Structure 1
Amino acid sequence: MRHWPLFDLRLTTPRLELRLPGPDDLDQLADRALEGVHDPERMPFFVPWTDLPSDELGGEVVRYQLGVMSRWRPEQWSCNFAVAHEGRVIGVQELSATDYAVTREVSSGSWLGLRYQGRGLGTEMRAAVLHLAFAGLDALTAVSDAFTDNPASLAVSRKLGYRPDGLSVQARRGERAVQQRLRLDRADFACPVPVRITGLEPCLPHFGLRP
């Protein structure tokens, strides 16, 4: 797409393809959300979007993803990749930044359909966007966070070389919850899987960078 080359950006790993979602991908993301993302007794997200009633959740997933794309600006962007595995979209991997041309720092977030968890796919998809950040976009640092009662997310961060960067306290479902901040320097990142990036150069201005 000449005026929105981001639709042609692809990250490919041995098991996954990451791409901006099209209409069919959005439908599949809504299906994965409705099938379940986490144990209902737990809430891994700061914004408890999975608490929505099932008759609202699917549409909200689609509206949210379209809104993220519509708000993209070079000075403040969020690249929400649909993650495809064996021909099926299984979750979302986000990479975002503010004033990236100056800060060279990215943050990440993700979710994965419940039945696709526990296979190392979460590590692989975050490794893909970190490779994009450090090798493709010349990032210097990457940050993330997770509630301290979310051991799976914290384990992914440890595997990829993040270090603790302090704690914060949030209100979650009306209760106190502690969040662990994490930071990764470029020198500490060793990508655990091969990642192929295609279609990046025409996208660079949209990330606030010169081709």
Structure 2
Amino acid sequence: MRHWPLLALRLTTPRLELRLPGLDDLDALADRAAEGVHDSGEMPFGEPWTDAPPHERARSTVQVHFRQWGTWSPGHWACSFVTVWESQVVGVQEMRAVDFAVTREVATGSWLGRRFHGKGIGTEMRAAVLHLAFAGLGARYARSSAFADNAASLAVSRKLGYREDGIGVFNRRGEAVVQQRVRLSRDEWRTPDGFEIHNLAPCLPLFGVAEGITDAGGAP
């Protein structure tokens, strides 16, 4: 699509493909949300959207992508990729930024269908968007956060080299909980082998990037 080149943007790793979803992908992603994202005793999200009934989780999963596309601007964007593993849509990996042209900083968030946990997919898909951020878009920093009891997310951050960046206290289901912030700099990032970016060049203005970065590790 000439006027929305983001639909052709793809990230590939040794096991995964990340892409902006088509309608069939959104349907599959909604199924993953309806099936369950985490154990019932957990709540890894600041907005407890997974407390909703399965059909509402499915519908809201589709709607959030429509909202992101409809409000996208170079100064304020959220890019949510579906993650495909063994030909299945298994979850979503988001990267977002405000005033990226100035700040050169992105933030990330993600979720996986519960039955796909424990396979290393979460680490690999976050590494894919970090490669896009640092090598493709020229970001200086990437940040993330997780509640202190979300051991899996914090383990991914440690594995990828993030450093602790302070804490915050948030209201989660009516209780105060600690959130750990983490940050990774471009200088500390090392792209694993086999990570590539495809069809990036036409998308750069939509990310607030004036021209391509030469070390993208794949055809821009």
TM range (shorter): over 0.9
Residue identity matched to 2:97: A
Query: Who is 1:72 aligned against?
Result: 72
Partner SS, residue 118 of structure 1? coil
Partner SS, residue 157 of structure 2? helix
Partner SS, residue 21 of structure 1? coil
Separation in 1 of the partners of 2:199 and 2:174?
A: 44
Instruction: Structure 2 unaligned segments of length 5 or more: list them.
Output: 212-220
Q: Post-superposition, which runs of at least 4 consecutive aligned residues in structure 1 deviate over 6 A?
A: none
Query: Who is 1:7 aligned against?
Result: 7
Query: Who is 2:166 aligned against?
Result: 166
Residue identity matched to 1:76: H
Q: Which has the higher contact order (CA 8 A, sep 6+)?
A: 1
Q: Which deviations, in whole Å up to 9, do the C-alpha atoms of 1:165-203 show, x marking residues without a partner? A: 000000001111100000101111112342110100000
Query: Who is 1:186 aligned against?
Result: 186
Query: Who is 2:59 aligned against?
Result: 59
Query: Who is 1:197 aligned against?
Result: 197
Determine if contact 1:127/1:193 at 8 Å carries over to the other structure: no
Query: Who is 1:134 aligned against?
Result: 134
Query: Who is 2:41 aligned against?
Result: 41
Q: Which deviations, in whole Å up to 9, do the C-alpha atoms of 1:20-44 show, x marking residues without a partner? A: 0110010001100111100111100
Query: Who is 2:218 aligned against?
Result: none
What is the TM-score with the length of structure 2 in the denominator?
0.94
Instruction: Structure 1 unaligned segments of length 5 or more: list them.
Output: none
Partner SS, residue 11 of structure 2? strand
Which moves more between the two structures, 17-26 or 190-199? 190-199
- Once superposed, what is the RMSD of the aligned Cα atoms? 0.8
Determine if contact 2:34/2:55 at 8 Å carries over to the other structure: no
Determine if contact 1:76/1:99 at 8 Å carries over to the other structure: yes
Q: Which deviations, in whole Å up to 9, do the C-alpha atoms of 1:33-85 show, x marking residues without a partner? A: 11110011110001111111123221111111111111110000010001011
